[in-house]
Amino acid sequence: QPSSFFLLFADSKLRSRLLTPSKKEEHSKRLLVPLVLISICLICKMARIALTRFIPKNNIGRFFGKQKVMTIVLCALAALVMVSTVGPFIIRRKLRKMSIYLGDGDCEWTEALNTVAGTDIYGTLFASYPGSGMRITWQQTEGLTGIRVYDDFFQLATPKIGLVKTQYPHYEGIWSYGNGLDQVILVIRNPRWAMPSYLTLLSELEFAHTWQIAYGHLPEVFTKRADMDDWIKWRDYRFADEIRLWGLHIDFYMENGAQYWMPYDFERNGQWPFRFYNASDEPWPQDYHCAHDVESCYPRAIVSYERLKDPIVGPTELKKIAAVLRNKTAMTVMPDDGINCVWHDTWIKNPYPNNDDRDKNGLPRTAYNFTLAQMYVIEEKLVEYKNKYSTGRWEFNTEAIDLVQNFEIYIGDVRAEIDQMEENPPPTGAPNANYTQELVQWYNSKGKGNRYSKGTVQNMGIWDLVKHLYDDH
């Protein structure tokens, strides 16, 4: 349809100023133009030779006047043929990497493009606790916008502008995007499933504590689940801190950067001699980045992983993201009536693995369980946060209402699992007086523990500021 093509071409001109293809594609485009010109010249030459050979020279002269005129006419005809045949190919190549709206709710899914450095594009940060379905979120967002979503940890030399995902302020995330972003979208997931998914990612990356180690294991991400022994040890050692961090991560953004860690706890992990703040420390300070590097850390939308991946309500959840991104500077967004199409096409055509691909190798996700005592704690945390964000100043807050609706679903799911466990209690393991020490040794062996040992901190340039936290032990 001419009108649809005009809108598509106009949109592509905007995208072409903002987005860059891969080096391979850029190189092929540069080669295409000289190849077309060479082809036109060859066609002209061959046609001229043929005419000269088979048509009497005096007749050619009468028909064209001069040989130069003949050459110009033949080249013009050849150029017309090449443009009519190769032109659409060039246009399709230019648009190939963009999710295309075809009208009437139809679309064509294509891969996203990088944002050009220096572009004045409105920036959005997607934040979540680790293991909360960020991969599905960025895949759907790329399908929605045609714009690449950057990672806070990887490709540190690449400017983090436009769309960025992070786990900050959890210690697995970093603020690597300076002051280049403007708003936040908070992604949440039931902690009952977020924590096992987080451990699985750690396991795939071999518990990497440096970016060099993590880079080496990237091809293994979303391909397998964790060793069961690692899960049990990590679960039992980290459970109390991680269920607390799950809640503090939400509080951080809902409170516009409520800093729950002590000064100089640069990893924000609460390890000795530092600790996390509690109610007696209120009011907590505001995180420097939320105060100076972004307009506000308060989320413009709450996105549920469970709802986003659901085939019935998934497109509706994706529309939340669309509403926050639409009409922002240099941001392209699929029209609402095309979102159902692009949501389904992203699931089918996106080439990158996601959490479901882990089930192909090893145990299913349902094999990674908590103890009954731990399930009670998860339920208590969910009830605590449901009550917190449904009363007082949060009672009529749109984002808080969204949180509470999801918490209620989580509580129901956790309670159903608890009921099953109470009916069929899991076997109790034999007492082990050394179990706690074994967990500490295991965690240290993974490079995750003892991050603030006295010897380490003494060599960090902050010793005079924190030495009062250490004692002779």
- pLDDT for the residue 161: 84
Residues 291-320: what's their mean pLDDT?
Answer: 97
Q: What is the mean pLDDT of residues 205-233?
A: 69
| Contacts of residue 144, Cβ cutoff 8 Å, sequence gap at least 6 | 99, 318, 321, 322, 325, 333, 334, 339, 342
Interval 395-451: pLDDT, tens: 999 999 999 999 999 999 999 999 999 999 888 777 888 999 999 998 888 877 778
Helical ranges in 55-151 per DSSP H: 57-64, 67-95, 134-145
Distance CA 332, CA 351 (A): 22
| Average of per-residue pLDDT values in the chain | 81
pLDDT recorded at residue 7: 28
Give how far Cα 220 sits from Cα of 226, 368, 436, Å: 12, 20, 30
The Cα–Cα gap between 345 and 117 comes to 29
Instruction: Using pLDDT thresholds of 50, 70 and 90, give the confidence band for residue 327.
Output: very high
Three-state DSSP class for residue 327: coil
Q: Tell whether the model's pLDDT for residue 93 goes beyond 70.
A: no
Proportion of the chain above pLDDT 70, given as a percent: 71
Rounded Cα distance, 129 and 445, in Å: 24
**pLDDT over 50 at 3, yes or no:** no
pLDDT score, position 164: 94
Check the CA dihedral 300-303-378-198 and report its sign.
negative
Phi, psi values for residue 165, rounded to 5°: -115, 145
Q: How does pLDDT run across 364-381, given as a tens digit for each residue?
A: 888 999 999 999 999 999
Helix axes 191-204, 228-254, angle to 10 degrees: 120
- Angle (CA) 298 300 301, round 5°: 115
CA 386 distance to own-chain centroid: 27
pLDDT over 60 (residue 190):
yes
Q: Residue 19 pairs with which residues in a beta bridge?
A: 115
CA 422/CA 416 separation, integer angstroms:
10
Mean pLDDT lowest among 14-28, 247-261, 318-332: 14-28
Residue 83: how many CB atoms within 10 A of its CB? 13
Q: What is the pLDDT of residues 267-304, one digit of tens each?
A: 899 988 999 999 999 999 999 999 999 999 999 999 99
pTM of the model: 0.77
The predicted pLDDT at position 365 comes to 82
Distance (Å, rounded) from C-alpha 217 to C-alpha 276? 31
Sequence-ordered list of residues with C-beta below 8 angstroms from that of 415, at least 6 positions apart, any chain = 379
Say yes or no to pLDDT of 217 above 70.
Answer: no
Q: Give me the pLDDT at residue 218, please.
A: 60
